Amino acid sequence: MNLFKRIRPRKKVKINAGLPPGTIVFTGKQRVDDVSIHYLEFNEEELKEETCTPGEFIEFHRPMDKYLQWYDVRGLHDTDLIQNLGSTFKMHPLIQEDIVNTTQRPKYEEFEDGIFLCLRALSFDKEHLDLQYEQVSIFFHKHHVLSFQEQDEDLLINIRERIRASHGKVRTSDGDYLAYAIMDLITDHYFEVMEQIQDVLTELEDEISLSTSREIKGKILNMRTQLIRARKAIYPLREVINEFSRSDSPIIHQETVPYVRDSYDHVIQLMDMVETARESLTGIQDLYATEISFKMNKVMQFLAVVTTLFVPITFLAGLYGMNFVNIPELQHENGYFILLGVMALVTITLILYFKRKGWF
C-alpha cells in the first residue's frame, strides 16, 4: 500500500464571489441522497418522536411552549429547506449561509432570536490513517433546538437514547442544555480520536526499529497532516466554549454554565493531547532520521572495512607485478602459492583485528 497517495490535497474553499452576504449556496460535498428531519418533542412527562421529509415539514411543525422541540436535519444540500427553517425559526440569513458552508471554522454567535454554534465532529480511520470531519451546526432558543448533520449516520444517537430513557437533565431542561449536551458529546468523542492517533504513533515508533522503508516515511508524513487537521478542529473550540460560558443571553440559564465550563476543561486536556502527539511525532521523525543515518553509517563502515582489507593485497599484487627481471621470489618454485598464502594470512589477521575492535 502506497501511503503517499493517501495524503489528501488541501481542500479548496469554494468562495461565492460577488454574492451578497447571507446568500444560501451549498458549498460542501453532498453525502446523502435525500434530506430527512428527525423530530423529538418532549418534556419531563411526555415524549414524541417522528421523522419527516422536507416537503412534510410545513404541515408537521407546530410551536409549543410546554415542550422542547428538537429538529435534527441530516443532509445540507437542500437550500430551500434551510430557507424554510430559517423563516420558521427566525434564523438570520448569515446563519443559514454558514450552515450550508461546510468549511466553517468552529464558532459561537448570538442573535436576537437564537444562538448559533458551528462545530466539527471528528472520526479517525486507523486502516488508512485518515482523519475525517463532519460539520455539525446548532441553532437553539428556549423551546427549540435545530441541529444540522452532513450525513444520515446519527452522530447524536447517545443523546437521543438518553432522552428516550429519561437519563440526565435533558428532559427537564431547555434548549441551552440540549445544545450543550450535543457540544459535549462531540468534544468527548475527540478523546477517542486522539487516543487512536496516539496508538498509531506508538505503533509507528515500534515499526521504525524494524524497518525504515518508504511506507514508514509515508505514514509519518500522513500523520503530520492528520495532526494539523485535528488541531484546526480542536483549538477554536476553546473560544467557542469560553463565549458560551460567559454569555449573558437570557436563552442560557445559569444552571447550564457550570456544565459548559467543565467542557472547557476537557478542551484544554485535548489541546495538551494534541501537543503531546505533535511532540511524539517530532520524536518519531528524529528517530527515523537517526535510524536512516545509522544504517547508512553501517554500510559505509562495511565498505571501509572491505577497502582496508584490499589495501595490503593490492600492495602485494602491485609489488610483485612490477616489470623487473630480478625479483627473487618470482624465481621460487612455489612463489605463486606463497604469495597467495601471505595475502590470505594478512586478510585473516585484519579481519580478526577488526572483529576484536568491534568494527563489524
User: In whole angstroms, what is the distance from residue 280 CA to residue 272 CA?
Assistant: 12
Rounded to whole angstroms, what are the CA distances from 118 to 8, 113, 179?
Answer: 24, 17, 11
pLDDT at 95: 94
- What's the CA gap between 95 and 92, in Å, rounded? 5
Q: Tell me which architecture the domain covering 297-357 has in CATH.
A: Up-down Bundle (1.20)
Check pLDDT > 60 for residue 14.
no
Residues found in the chain: 360
**H-helix or E-strand spanning residue 148:** strand 144-149
Q: Where in the chain is the domain with CATH 1.20.58.340?
A: 297-357
Residues contacting residue 266 through CB under 8 Å, at least 6 positions apart: 184, 187, 188, 191
Local structure of 52: helix, strand or coil:
strand
Q: pLDDT-based confidence at 2, cuts 50/70/90?
A: very low
CATH H-level, domain 3-291: superfamily = CorA soluble domain-like (3.30.460.20)
For Cα atoms 107, 249, 25, give the angle at the middle one, nearest 5 degrees.
40
The pLDDT of residue 94 is 93
pLDDT in tens, 293-340: 888 888 888 888 888 888 988 888 888 777 777 777 777 778 788 888
Please choose, from the candidates 99, 111, 277, 117, the residue with its C-alpha nearest in 3D space to the C-alpha of residue 204: 277
Partners of 146 in the β-ladder: 71, 139
Global pTM value: 0.80
Of the given ranges (31-45, 53-67, 90-104), which has the lowest mean pLDDT? 53-67
164: its cell numbers: 428516550
For cell 579481519, name the residue. 351
Crossing angle of helices 257-319 and 175-208, in 10° steps, is 10
pLDDT band at 52 (very low <50, low <70, confident <90, very high): confident
Percent share of the chain, pLDDT over 70:
92
* Structure-block grid coordinates of residue 76: 445540507
What pLDDT shows up at residue 212?
78
**Counting Cβ atoms within 10 Å, is residue 101 exposed (0-12), middle (13-18) or buried (19+)?**
buried
From CA 42, how far away is CA 163, in angstroms rounded? 8
Per-residue confidence (pLDDT) for residue 27, from 0 to 100? 84
What pLDDT shows up at residue 322?
Answer: 78
Residue 63 has pLDDT above 80, yes or no: no
Segment 350-357 mean pLDDT: 85
262-295 burial, b at 16+ Cβ within 10 Å, e below that, comes to ebbebbeebeebbeebbebbeebbebbeebeeee
pLDDT tens for each residue of 107-156:
999 998 999 999 999 999 988 899 998 999 999 999 999 999 998 888 89
Question: pLDDT tens across 262-295, in order?
Answer: 999 999 999 999 999 999 999 999 988 888 888 8
Q: Would you state the pLDDT for residue 6?
A: 43
- For CATH 3.30.460.20, the residue range(s) in the chain are 3-291
CA 265 remoteness from chain centre: 21
